[in-house]
């Protein structure tokens, strides 16, 4: 299920550690980090790696357990995960998680983002036994911090749906994707929003793989309408 696997990777790219307000001032660290994230979004992985390594080295000057180190480590891990350098990504995600848990607490949203990223990393390597408790923990954090109706919770529900779908556990996958979609619809998320379209793509893939062509086509028509609207505005 290529569409479902792509959805997992998309979450990995956007599930970055949030910056703390105390660190929002323009610094050399922040300049390198911002440049690295921009390069990552544009697919320039070599530039992203170079800039984020510089950001990590600068962050370490504040102390090895400074939260800026967690930020930079998580960001660089995303680059390595995107490039398929899984061992390096795992080490950096684990480092970011350790620092975050100590500095922010085990149920902080930033910790939840890195927990989710690490779970996705394992899932893309078919290490499902290691991935599942991490993804469930990420959901628990989001439910506690954001509530059952928040779009951040919907994002993790979609991740869990994709996780079960790539293993062929389609009943569980459909359960989670329907909950995710219901949250987005209740929140009136725009049909052209990337989170909405990614959720619909996963839902359509699940429907097709359960031989429900008519329902899948209905979802795909929604995606086509969103694509047409997006084209009109660009």
Q: What digits encode the pLDDT tens for the residues 30-52?
A: 899 999 999 998 999 999 999 99
Helix (H) or strand (E) holding 227: helix 213-232
Tell me if 1-140 shares its fold with 146-234.
yes
Task: Give the residue from 95, 98, 67, 92 showing the smallest Cα distance to 80.
Answer: 92
CATH C-level class of 1-140:
mainly alpha
pTM assigned to the model = 0.87
Distances (CA, A) of 183 to 40, 90, 110, 155, 229: 29, 31, 21, 10, 22
Report d(CA 232, CA 234) in Å as an integer: 6
Report d(CA 157, CA 22) in Å as an integer: 30
| Torsion angle of C-alpha atoms 42, 47, 51, 56, degrees rounded to 10 | 90
Q: Which residues of the chain have pLDDT under 70?
A: 1-26, 233-234
CATH C-level class of 146-234:
mainly alpha
Q: Tell me, what's the pLDDT at 229?
A: 80
HEC letters along 71-140: HHHHHHHHHHHHCCCHHHHHHHHHHHHHHHHHHHCCCCHHHHHHHHHHHHHHHHCCCHHHHHHHHHHHHH
Number of neighbouring beta carbons within 10 Å of residue 50: 16
Q: Tell me, what's the pLDDT at 4?
A: 57
Q: Tell me, what's the pLDDT at 21?
A: 43
Q: Tell me, what's the pLDDT at 7?
A: 55
Q: Where are the domains of the chain?
A: 1-140, 146-234
Task: Give the residue from 179, 178, 220, 214 showing the smallest Cα distance to 197.
Answer: 220
> b/e map of 168-199 (b: 16 or more CB within 10 Å)?
eebeebbebbebbbebbeeeebebbeebbbbb
Q: What digits encode the pLDDT tens for the residues 92-133?
A: 999 999 999 999 999 999 899 999 999 999 999 999 999 999
Q: Tell me, what's the pLDDT at 209?
A: 93
**Half-sphere exposure for 210 (CA within 13 Å, toward CB):** 17
Q: Tell me, what's the pLDDT at 30?
A: 87
């Amino acid at each position: 299920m290529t569409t479902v696997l792509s959805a997992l990777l998309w979450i990995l790219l956007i599930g970055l550690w949030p910056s703390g307000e105390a660190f929002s001032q323009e610094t050399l660290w922040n300049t390198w980090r911002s440049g690295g994230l921009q390069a990552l979004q544009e697919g320039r992985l070599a530039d992203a790696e170079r800039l984020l390594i510089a950001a990590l080295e600068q962050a370490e000057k504040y102390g090895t357990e400074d939260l800026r180190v967690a930020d930079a480590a998580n960001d660089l891990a995303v680059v390595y995960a995107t490039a398929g350098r899984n061992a390096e990504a795992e080490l950096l995600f684990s480092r970011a998680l350790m620092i975050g848990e100590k500095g922010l607490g085990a149920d902080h949203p930033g910790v939840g983002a890195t927990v989710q990223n690490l779970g996705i990393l394992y899932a893309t390597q078919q290490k499902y036994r290691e991935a599942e408790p991490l993804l469930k923990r990420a959901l628990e954090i989001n439910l506690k911090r954001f509530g059952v109706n928040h779009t951040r919770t919907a994002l993790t529900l979609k991740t869990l749906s994709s996780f079960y779908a790539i293993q062929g556990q389609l009943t569980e996958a459909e359960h989670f994707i329907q909950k995710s979609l219901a949250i987005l619809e209740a929140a009136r998320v725009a049909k052209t929003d990337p989170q909405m379209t990614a959720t619909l793509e996963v839902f359509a893939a699940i429907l097709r793989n359960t031989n429900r062509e008519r329902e899948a086509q209905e979802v795909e028509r929604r995606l086509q309408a969103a694509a047409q609207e997006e084209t009109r505005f660009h």
